[in-house]
Chains A and B, each alone.
Chain A
Amino acid sequence: MASYGAALPTVARSILAPCRLPFRQMPMMPMVPAFTGFQQSRGMKNKAKDKGKGKGKATKADRRGAKDFQQKDLKDMQQFALCDAMRYIRAVEVGREPASTKYEVHIRLKSRKDGPVIRNMIRFPHAVQTESRICVICAPGSKQAKDALAAGAVLVGRTILPAMNKAGLGRILGPRGLMPNTKNGTVTEDVANRVQMLRGGTIYRERDAVIRLPIGQLGFSPEQLRDNLRTTIEQVKKDAAGLNDQINKQIYEIVLSSTHGPGFSLNGEFKSENSPRLLCLDWRVKYHCFF
């Protein structure tokens, strides 16, 4: 009884209170000790049996705070299909530059407060950042140089380095993490792969049990965004599985947002009955289309 009452909000408990009264006075002998036991456990130091259930004095664990990040019940949260969320976001972001305005995703995780965090890099099927240009320093005409150019590097060669030193660019680029560095994996044999990764790659990490990262430009079609979202979720799941046997991280909620827009909790559907035709949500379609 006590534990049941404690789980309810205060209002509900006060409503229930009159119903509870007759039970206490029930003359059923075998039941009485059990109830008195519960009654006493309220407000007193709890026995090991109902630790953390009653509203009694805070135990040691309570004082340290919850071990897990708080997860609210999502049943009241309005959730959207991907296309519906996109329709709202495109309306809010109307008139903005389609290449520089980004869709963002916030992945909430069920996670403990201590313990490792997810941190990784992802390469999307449809590149989000278009502005990163990559310079590769290697012998001109070598296999690496060809690979790098094929993978989309802007500058390839060896003469760049002295010129860069002369201009003092190292001081500017270094703190921003733009200089070659073994730690970042930017001093490498496998140039082509790395260039590709850097061009379409995004670094993400978990902070307070949420992973936030841009997953698309405003100009993307719903299919493109879906592909990117799917890739992200799959990789996050893989990351969570690869952490440790004892760590259990799960995806709890996925929120689609944008540079200026509000966050829309996604329900996992691609489109709903009221969604507009897909072409309408595609920026690249120059001509109008209607639903």
Chain B
Amino acid sequence: MVNLFKRMRKLSTTLNVRTGLGAALFPTPKTATKEFPAVTRLHLTYAKRIEDGHRGARHFWRQCLPRLKYHNPGVGITVRQTDDQAGPAALTIYFSERLSSTAAAIAGANQVVDKHAPAPVEGEKAAVVNVKNLEFNEIWNRVQASTGAQELKPSAEDEAERKRLEAIAARAVGDRERIARIQQAKKDQERMLAEARGEVEKLKSM
């Protein structure tokens, strides 16, 4: 099995799931306000390749959705990749009972139809946000604005962990250079020796 230390280092990447862009709590029925009703589900549809403005949607999936899922394990999140580059890149947000006014405004401003998104069930209202040609942080801004998600500050331990990993990464840069120098010196030495040997051969043959 993989070396224990490698596995431990790999696990430290769970920090990336806990913190970062998208580490936020959606309003729940308990915390729902007049302005922001509870969020029940999310659905993202985009095309496989990045051209025609589907890049941000994919990045949003890889970057933000794991964090959202970690902090809101009860909110169902589905992703659908299509082969249709000309098709929509759309994020559907399902609210319980009614839409938040900002969501209605954001969805209404740039109408799009996503036929892959599941139909809202009874007691749900869906807002389809057009995310084509948007970068993932821009998508996150819209999601946050339309749902009123509360961003979570990283805990003290997470902050310390981040600093530790950053320090390791910074040290690694220097170490890499040092090792590269050593390797280069070794290669130079070998080349010089080989050249010298070649000279000797030449002299002998003369």
A60 to B10, CA, bound (A): 37
Task: Verify A210–B17 contact, CB threshold 8 A.
Answer: no
The 14 listed contacts between A and B (C-beta, < 8 Å) are A72-B4, A88-B14, A91-B17, A91-B66, A91-B67, A94-B68, A94-B69, A95-B78, A209-B1, A262-B11, A265-B7, A286-B121, A287-B40, A288-B76
Among the interface residues A76, A106, A265, A290, which one has the most CB atoms of the partner chain B within 10 A?
A290
B140 within 8 A of A: no
A281 to B72, CA, bound (A): 10
Query: Do A95 and B74 form a contact, CB below 8 Å, given A77-B8, A288-B96?
Result: no
Among the interface residues A210, A276, A277, which one has the most CB atoms of the partner chain B within 10 A?
A276
Task: Verify B66–A288 contact, CB threshold 8 A.
Answer: no
Distance in Å: Cβ of B81 to nearest Cβ of chain A:
9
A2 to B14, CA, bound (A): 42
Q: Which of B105-129 contact A (CB under 8 A)?
A: 121
- A208's partner among B1, B13, B28, B66 (CB-CB below 8 A) is B1
- B: which residues have CB within 8 A of A? 1-2, 4, 7-8, 10-11, 13-14, 17, 28-30, 38-41, 44, 61, 65-70, 72-79, 96, 121
A290 to B40, CA, bound (A): 10
- B70's partner among A74, A77, A78, A88 (CB-CB below 8 A) is A88
Q: Which of A254-291 contact B (CB under 8 A)?
A: 255, 262-265, 276-277, 279-281, 283, 286-291
Distance in Å: Cβ of B155 to nearest Cβ of chain A:
11
- A94's partner among B4, B30, B40, B65 (CB-CB below 8 A) is B65
- A: which residues have CB within 8 A of B? 72, 74, 76-78, 87-88, 90-92, 94-96, 106, 108, 208-210, 255, 262-265, 276-277, 279-281, 283, 286-291
Task: Verify A78–B1 contact, CB threshold 8 A.
Answer: no
Task: Verify B73–A276 contact, CB threshold 8 A.
Answer: yes
Among the interface residues A95, A106, A264, which one has the most CB atoms of the partner chain B within 10 A?
A95
- B66's partner among A76, A92, A106, A255 (CB-CB below 8 A) is A92
Smallest CB gap from A76: residue in B? B8
| 6 nearest A-B pairs in the assembled complex, by CB-CB distance | A95-B79, A91-B70, A280-B74, A290-B28, A280-B73, A288-B40
Task: Verify B74–A289 contact, CB threshold 8 A.
Answer: yes
Query: Do A264 and B66 form a contact, CB below 8 Å, given A276-B74, A287-B40?
Result: no
A145 to B75, CA, bound (A): 45
Give chain A residues whose Cβ lies under 8 Å from the Cβ of B66: 91-92, 94
Give chain A residues whose Cβ lies under 8 Å from the Cβ of B75: 288
Give chain B residues whose Cβ lies under 8 Å from the Cβ of A210: 1
Smallest CB gap from A275: residue in B? B73
Task: Verify B69–A90 contact, CB threshold 8 A.
Answer: yes
- B69's partner among A74, A91, A277 (CB-CB below 8 A) is A91
A95 to B2, CA, bound (A): 27
Distance in Å: Cβ of A93 to nearest Cβ of chain B:
8
Distance in Å: Cβ of A117 to nearest Cβ of chain B:
15
Query: Do A95 and B76 form a contact, CB below 8 Å, given A78-B8, A78-B11, A208-B1?
Result: no
Distance in Å: Cβ of A290 to nearest Cβ of chain B:
4
A176 to B117, CA, bound (A): 38
Query: Do A92 and B17 form a contact, CB below 8 Å, given A262-B11, A263-B7?
Result: yes
Give chain A residues whose Cβ lies under 8 Å from the Cβ of B28: 290
